[in-house]
Structures are given as C-alpha cells and as structure tokens.
Structure 1
Amino acid sequence: MKKRILPILAYTVFVAVISALITTAWFHYFVLNQNSSEEEQQTLTFLSADKLSKSPIKDGQDIIEIFSYGCHFCALNEKNVEALEKRMPEGKKLVRLHFSLDNQGGLARFAPVFATLQVMGIEEAHRESAYDAVLKNKIDLGDAEKRAAWLQENKISVDDYNKVSQTPEVKELLDYMTKVTQYYDINATPIFIVNKKWVAIQDREFPAFSDNLLSLLEHDKALEK
C-alpha cells in the first residue's frame, strides 16, 4: 500500500511544481511585459484616422512643439529643438505653439504674451528673455504691470505691444493654439506633434529623440531605444 502511495504523492508534488512554474512564467511574460508595453506607449500615441481627419493643425506644420514659458524642461531643450529645426528635411517645417487653454491658467498663462510677440515678429528674439523672466526671476508676465516693466527692459514699446495684443491676428493665434492643445489632450509640456497624428513625449536624450521624431516624420515609424 505504501509503495502505491509514494508514486502518487510524488506525481502530485511534480504536478504542483510544474503548475507553479507555468503560472510564474505566464505572469512574467504576459502581465509584466504588458505593463512594460503600456508604459512605453504612454510616451508615444497616435490619432485614429477619423480623429486625424478632423485635426485643427494647419498644413505645413510638420512637427509642432507645444511649450510654455513656464516650463523648465522646455527652456533646457531650446538649443536641442533649434538643432532639430536645422535638421528638418527640405520642404518640412517645425513650428512652436504655446500651451493654451480657455481660462489661460497654469502653464497657459503666458500664451497671450507668446501670441502677441509672435504677431509682432519678435518672439524668437525675446524667447530666452521670456524664459528667464518666468523661470529665473519669477516675473509674472501675465500681470500687466510686471509685463510692462519686462517689455521696457527688453526695449519693446509697451504701447505697441498693447495695441497688437488686441488685434484679430493675436486672437486667431490664441484660438488656434487652444484648439490644438485641447484637441490633442495636452496637459503637460513639452509635447511634440508629428504629421498631425503622432504625439510624442521625450523618452530619450537628444539627439536620439530628434532622430525618433524625424523617423516618425519621414517614415511614419518609431525607432527602438
């Protein structure tokens, strides 16, 4: 009787061990890998064909950086984005749009400043100063009095700025930036939109990240890390 019980017991233990190993292997392969894939997907998403067809992005804006004067990482990346712009293929364009919301709160607070300077044709020349004002000197450029002092310091006419800020061109640009920000569910900066359909968060160092953006632009394909 004992001789018959021992093989049965051994077989039962064997089956239990194998089942445990299979369960462990399944968990690591399917569950952990799935979670890893989900984390990777969060840094790169794309629009469905239907949503893409309704995108508010204008033609010719092939790579868009959604940034904010209040974004520390945007300021740090400025030189890298300038280098990316120089690498753009012929006929392709990189455009910067300021993060913008209907209530112009948070990082969107400085969108009117960007839009006004952009329409005046002097935004690029004063971008670094705007970053420094907000991030280093803690100047609220959304406040009229503090903004006026900053404009004077940068030799920008306050009267000219105020007049341009009320023009239809500035309103149109603000509306456009708000539509893009909301349509693409942008809630942080910097974010890069490629070919209207890829939404990329930086997931590697420059210039490797630039390589990835250009691959999405030219080949519609992400590069492996």
Structure 2
Amino acid sequence: MLKNWIKTVVLAASLMGASSAFALTEGKDFKALSKPMPVAVAGKQEVIEFFWYGCPHCFSVEPAIEAWAAKLPKDVNLRRVHVMWDGRNDMEGHAKIFLALQTLGLDGKHQKAVMKAVQADRIELRNEAKLFEWVKSQGIDVAKFKAAYNGFSTNAQLKNLATMTRDYQIDGVPTFIVNGKWVTSPSMVGANDANFTKILDELIAKDRAAPKKK
C-alpha cells in the first residue's frame, strides 16, 4: 500500500512539473529570425542578450538574468552584446565601456555595477574623467582600462557591434537570441522578469529536442 502511495505522489509531482512548462506560441512568445545565424561556440547552446547600459528595462531585468545565468548547464553559452544603433552617438561611450571591460575579461563581473552607476547612481560614465574615477573605485587597473578603452581596435569593435545589431534586426532592448534561430524579449512575452527566464529555458529545450542534422 505504501509503495502505491509513493508511486501516486511521484506521478503527481511529475504531472505538476509538466504543467508548469510554458506552451510557447510562435509570434507571441518568440519569433524566428529571418536569417538563422551561427553560434559563437560550436556544439554549445547559445543565448545572446542585446542590451544598453542606458536602458532602464535592461537594468531591471539584469538581476533575474544573472540568477538564471548562474545556474546554466555547461553546454549553454550566454553572450552579452551592447547594442549600437546607427545614428545613435549617445550609445558610443557606453559601448566603449563594454568593449574595454570585455577586453580585460571583466564585462560579466561588472555588468550590474555599470548599470547601477548609470541607472541608479546617475553617474555620467560617458564623461571620461568621471568614468576613470569610477573605474578606480571598482578596483580596476585604470591604466589597463584606458589602454583598452582607447585601443586601436576599438573603432573596429564598435563597427562590429553595429553590424550585429543590424544583422540580428534588433529594434529594442533587452532582446534575446536563442541558438541563432529565435528572438524573444520581456516586452514581447508580456511576462515579468523572473518568469521571462522560463521562456529562455523552453526555447533551449525546444532546440535540444529538435532532430539533429546528420
């Protein structure tokens, strides 16, 4: 009798788990990219987060994304890309901060800190004097940061950000690309920030379940 009761509990739990999954609707929860794009690391699942340090919603969603990213399996690669829209010179200073931190391998570690400085503390990090002062306060080597920030390759990297923004047809942020195939965002889904990460999980699972090309 006890064994039957245990089976019943296990079955009920599995059904609850299944019912908690999102039934994704294309066109509502996500849409397909018009042109599939390659992932950065072959053999890995990929999620790209397009963002802007000056975007309030990017700041609000970041704690949920960081908590989600900390639990990702090893075969899922999260990439962050600072958006660069044509004609938006106000973004260039923020994008250079992202590129400098990325060059130093510090972009992930300081992602939330930069957003807090811009969004909550209202520090104008596009002003270089204030930026370098803030960099020092974060314990970052200022000389190394300046070298990366003003590096010869920075302009080429800025152009690459602009190219990616166009190629992925990013018209708002935050926007997420899953496995170079699907695009979604909290505004598209209409979900709060914590629930939105479940959409990402479902799209990753969708790709895992898809038949693999031989």
TM-score by length of 1: 0.67
Q: Distance in 1 between matches of 2:112 and 2:193?
A: 20
Where does structure 1 lack aligned partners over 5 or more consecutive residues? 1-39
Where does structure 2 lack aligned partners over 5 or more consecutive residues? 1-25, 209-214
* Distance of aligned partners of 1:71 and 1:219 in 2 relative to their CA distance in 1, 3 Å threshold: same
Select 1:181's aligned residue among 157, 160, 165: 165
Q: Which structure has the highest helix share of the two?
A: 1
Work out which structure has the larger RCO, using CA pairs closer than 8 Å and 6 or more positions apart in sequence: 2
Select 2:98's aligned residue among 110, 114, 121: 114
Residue 195 (1) aligns with residue 176 (2): no
Residue 45 (1) aligns with residue 31 (2): yes
Provide the secondary structure at the position in 2 that maps to 1:181: helix
Q: Distance in 1 between matches of 2:132 and 2:74?
A: 39
Q: Give, as a single letter, the amino acid of the residue that structure 1 aligns with 2:31.
A: T
Conservation of the 8 A alpha-carbon contact between 2:45 and 2:75: no
1:1-225 equivalences in 2 (<5 Å) = 41=27, 44-48=30-34, 51-52=35-36, 55=37, 58-59=40-41, 60=44, 62-101=46-85, 105-107=89-91, 109-167=93-151, 170-171=154-155, 173-202=157-186, 203=189, 204-220=191-207
> CA offset at residue 137 of structure 1?
2.6
* Distance of aligned partners of 1:43 and 1:196 in 2 relative to their CA distance in 1, 3 Å threshold: same
TM-score by length of 2: 0.70
Q: In terms of mean alpha carbon deviation, does 80-89 or 66-75 score higher?
A: 80-89
Q: Give, as a single letter, the amino acid of the residue that structure 2 aligns with 1:157.
A: D
* Distance of aligned partners of 1:83 and 1:136 in 2 relative to their CA distance in 1, 3 Å threshold: closer
Q: Distance in 1 between matches of 2:153 and 2:205?
A: 32
The alignment yields a C-alpha RMSD, in angstroms, of: 2.7
Q: Distance in 2 between matches of 1:206 and 1:158?
A: 34
Aligned residue number for residue 13 of structure 2: none
1:103-152: CA deviations, max 9, x gaps? 55344540110110111122233223211221123222222222122122
Provide the secondary structure at the position in 1 that maps to 2:183: strand
- Select the structure of larger CA radius of gyration: 1
Provide the secondary structure at the position in 2 that maps to 1:74: helix
Q: Give, as a single letter, the amino acid of the residue that structure 1 aligns with 2:40.
A: K
Q: Give the number of aligned pairs.
A: 178
Q: Distance in 1 between matches of 2:27 and 2:96?
A: 32
1:73-106: CA deviations, max 9, x gaps? 2222222112221343441211111112455534
Conservation of the 8 A alpha-carbon contact between 1:45 and 1:199: yes
Identity of aligned residues (%): 29
Conservation of the 8 A alpha-carbon contact between 2:50 and 2:80: yes
1:149-196: CA deviations, max 9, x gaps? 212222333322121224466555434322221112212211111111
Q: Distance in 1 between matches of 2:72 and 2:55?
A: 24
